[in-house]
Amino acid sequence: MKTQCLQLLTEKHYPTARCIDGILLFLPLQGTLDIHSISKAHSVTNDFILINDVETYQISQNGTCIMLYIASDWFEKVGVNFFDYKYIINLIQSTNEIMRKMLQLAHAQLTDTLTEAQFEKWMTDIVQIIVDEAKINASIVNQHLNYTGYGKFGEILEYIFNHLPDKLTLSALSEKLYISKSNISGQFYNVLGIGVKHYVDSIRIASSMRYLIGGNHTLEEISEQCGFSNGASYSKKFKAYIGVSPNDYRNLDKSQKVVHLGTTQECHYDEETLLSLINDKAMQCSNTSDIRIDERNPKSYRPCCNVLQIHTVAELKKLFLEDFTFYRTEASEHIIFYCLVDAKTLTYELTEEEKHQITSSLLEHQLSIAFHINSKEDLRWHLELLWPLVKRTIEDNEQLTKEAAQGFAYIFNLATMDLKTIYRHLIHVQNYNFQVDFGIDITDLFNQPTEFKQLEAQLKRINFKYYFIDNARLNPPYLVEDSEQILTKQLVHFTNIKDIIQRMDIDDQKYFLLNLENRLLSNDQIAELMDSPPILMEMLKETWNSFGGIGVDLFQQLSGREHLYLYDKNGFSSVLNILLHRFLELEDIKLRDYGHYIVAMQEEKVTIYIYDWRILEGEALDREALPARMTMDIQHSIINGNHLIYSENFDGKQGNINQIVPSSLRDKYEWSTPLVKKIEQFNQPQFEIFEHDFSQSALEFKLHYNSVRIMHIFKNEQTDKF
């Protein structure tokens, strides 16, 4: 579609005009834009200008600019009586967002891709920002309106504004103001380029709009209010100025209303050049946020342990027998494998050789593994299966000692056993003379906080190492059907859970929150939270801030509500898996939290994790969003010259298997491990390597919408610990 409310202005200057019904926005694309309005002289290159209704304006200098006319009806659409307010540009905080929407409109119009739905949405978005941030009661503005910028001529304009119902001919003004008719006439032509009669008629017509549109007044009533001699005279002058009669104008749709700038010159422009200007301006006006790294010490924390849940024997085999994932051999200090398969099933579904290989792998790599215990029978099967295997494996390998089994743990379920029974089982396990850690699933206590408080002293005496909270069993859970409209950024404050934790005298780093839920983004029937690297970053950060760790499924589970996972059911890596891998590479480095970016100071490099904050605001995927232009200013003693930088970009596309192999294809075929690994080699985040001298300038770069950018800045020429 083509809309007449958006125009591209390319002439150097335009004659005086008046905003009659609604507001005007002007955004320069090239050069400086100078507009003199009735209240202020504007000169901008990287901002926009807003002209209110009734105001006269004159474009005295222009390179190329966008003019967007927003009729009063658009404000009525969002529930605001337009004529009760004026709209002040200095109050607007989201200027970049308004400019971005204007540029999107212009781009779509030029490329003939603008749809009615897009037009309606972008216009409504702009109006909503202006209403939310810029409106102020019109009576207050009018009380403080002055024309001092026009000097003595301003006194004439002020008199006209305050006496619209009165007779305002040149003779009447001369008589009232004691100024000669020739002087008044000359000032109007010299300053505004129009005559007195045209000026008075235009301001009266503009003032009549509140009665014409905002009520059921007759033309006679309107003419009396605004200073016209009668209804017929009002109708005649209205049509001469607007192009249609007052009654026809009342019936126009908001998108049919247009503004004429009073020039007969045609607008000539080169489409390719204009598109280039629009794209350049989009880069300049996208939301920016400086990345500043200096000697400050903000809030910091470590990437905590992460619990990887294993649900089936097949998953266990894939993990330990197929050399499938790096978690089996690396990051042992930050990973707890949580086996939810009961020991009886393990006994019958694994061969003796498989049991031996899995046990050897656990001991040789000193991995941490926890077993879920629901009953006395569960524990008996575990003790009869596990510890004889551990003992034989250690005896067969001279390099292994009993200390290799220090990562083994049992997690008892308080929902199926009382605390006294659990304590007896704990003593029984210790008789096996192996150092074993113990944890407890206390989900049900969060559903009954009073009982939790009563058991607090006993829990502390037993001194469990792990306290597991299963979000899927919380009442209500962290994400439930009733909270579909609640943003994840609000939910990850974990307010209810933290309130209970704070009442207990137990180290909050012992709590582990399991089974955070995956769900669709708010405006999409395909894209999920798992497709948004920034949302995943925020969830990881907030979980590490609040708990000892986060629990996710090693492989995607398709029964019931889906939780966060590292690999899909075919073994393809998720975005979460790649992000988590990058954090685990930090070993035991503290993370410095600066809000939308995180910094890790390491021995040979500084790693910065920067994520796009915009999608967090509404968790709605804006597929038309432009990249944000950002700068990184480092004022730190260790980064003060020319440095090598390795940069990775996670944008929900690169490194996201959903963008490479659609789920419909993944569900249709069987995927062998070698083929999956082959595809994974190519499905990696986009990267680049370059140098930058921070002593000369800040680093400028683009941050794509819905992306995380990781930059490794090497302190010297050594890249051993990449």
Range with the poorest average pLDDT among 145-159, 312-326, 594-608? 145-159
Query: Residue 230, CB half-sphere, CA atoms under 13 Å: how many?
Result: 1
- Domains annotated for the chain, with CATH where assigned, are 6-137+263-270+279-285 (2.60.120), 146-243 (1.10.10.60)
* CA 422 – CA 373 distance, rounded (Å): 10
Q: Give 652 or 605, the one with higher predicted confidence.
A: 605
Is residue 480 predicted with pLDDT exceeding 60?
no
* CA 301 – CA 626 distance, rounded (Å): 32
Whether the Cβ atoms of residue 544 and residue 303 lie closer than 8 Å to each other: yes
* CA 374 – CA 376 distance, rounded (Å): 7
Beta strand 33-37 pairing with 56-61: antiparallel
Looking at residue 596, its pLDDT comes to 81
Helix and strand counts by DSSP (H, E) for the chain: 27, 29
Among 322, 389, 313, smallest CA distance to 344 is for 313
pTM over cut 0.85? no
Is residue 122 predicted with pLDDT exceeding 80?
yes
Looking at residue 149, its pLDDT comes to 62
Mean pLDDT of 388-399: 88
Q: What percent of the chain has pLDDT over 90?
A: 31
Residues 260-279 have pLDDT tens digits of 776 545 556 688 889 999 98
Mean pLDDT of 376-398: 88
Looking at residue 315, its pLDDT comes to 93
* CA 690 – CA 711 distance, rounded (Å): 11
Among 19, 24, 20, 49, smallest CA distance to 34 is for 49
Q: Tell me the two tokens of residue 150.
A: 């026009």
Helix, coil or strand: residue 447: helix
Looking at residue 648, its pLDDT comes to 92
Burial of 30 (C-beta count, 10 Å sphere; 0-12/13-18/19+): middle
Q: Residue 511 is which amino acid?
A: Y
413: left (phi over 0), alpha (psi -120 to 50) or beta: beta
Mean pLDDT of 108-136: 89
Whether the Cβ atoms of residue 208 and residue 238 lie closer than 8 Å to each other: yes
* CA 277 – CA 107 distance, rounded (Å): 10
Cα separation values, 34 from 59, 65, 201, Å: 6, 11, 25
Range with the poorest average pLDDT among 4-8, 107-111, 529-533, 718-722? 718-722
Range with the poorest average pLDDT among 51-60, 194-203, 710-719? 710-719
* CA 434 – CA 390 distance, rounded (Å): 10
CA-based max dimension of the chain = 116
Looking at residue 479, its pLDDT comes to 43
Looking at residue 481, its pLDDT comes to 42
Give 141's pLDDT tier (boundaries 50, 70, 90): low
DSSP codes joined into one string, 609-632: EEE-SHHHHH----TTPPPEEEEE
Give 16's pLDDT tier (boundaries 50, 70, 90): confident
Is residue 588 predicted with pLDDT exceeding 70?
no
Among 608, 630, 682, 683, smallest CA distance to 652 is for 683
Looking at residue 332, its pLDDT comes to 64
Give 303's pLDDT tier (boundaries 50, 70, 90): low
Q: Give 420 or 93, the one with higher predicted confidence.
A: 420
Q: Tell me the two tokens of residue 399.
A: 């390099």
Q: CA torsion, points 143, 145, 151, 153, in degrees to nearest 10?
A: -90
Residues 223-253 have pLDDT tens digits of 988 999 898 999 999 998 888 999 999 888 8
Looking at residue 678, its pLDDT comes to 87
Q: Residue 343 is which amino acid?
A: A
Q: What is the mean pLDDT of the chain?
A: 85
Is residue 679 predicted with pLDDT exceeding 90?
no
Most confident of 336-350, 514-528, 533-547, 624-638: 336-350
Looking at residue 143, its pLDDT comes to 58
Is residue 22 predicted with pLDDT exceeding 50?
yes
Cα separation values, 42 from 27, 47, 61, 100, 224, Å: 12, 10, 10, 20, 35
Give 482's pLDDT tier (boundaries 50, 70, 90): very low
DSSP codes joined into one string, 163-184: TTTS---HHHHHHHHT--HHHH
Distance of CA 310 to the CA centre of its chain: 32
Beta strand 549-555 pairing with 511-514: parallel
Q: Give 40 or 453, the one with higher predicted confidence.
A: 453
Query: Residue 709, CB half-sphere, CA atoms under 13 Å: how many?
Result: 23
Give 651's pLDDT tier (boundaries 50, 70, 90): confident
Looking at residue 449, its pLDDT comes to 86
Looking at residue 485, its pLDDT comes to 46
Mean pLDDT of 638-642: 83
Give 1's pLDDT tier (boundaries 50, 70, 90): confident
Q: Give 144 or 562, the one with higher predicted confidence.
A: 562
Looking at residue 519, its pLDDT comes to 80
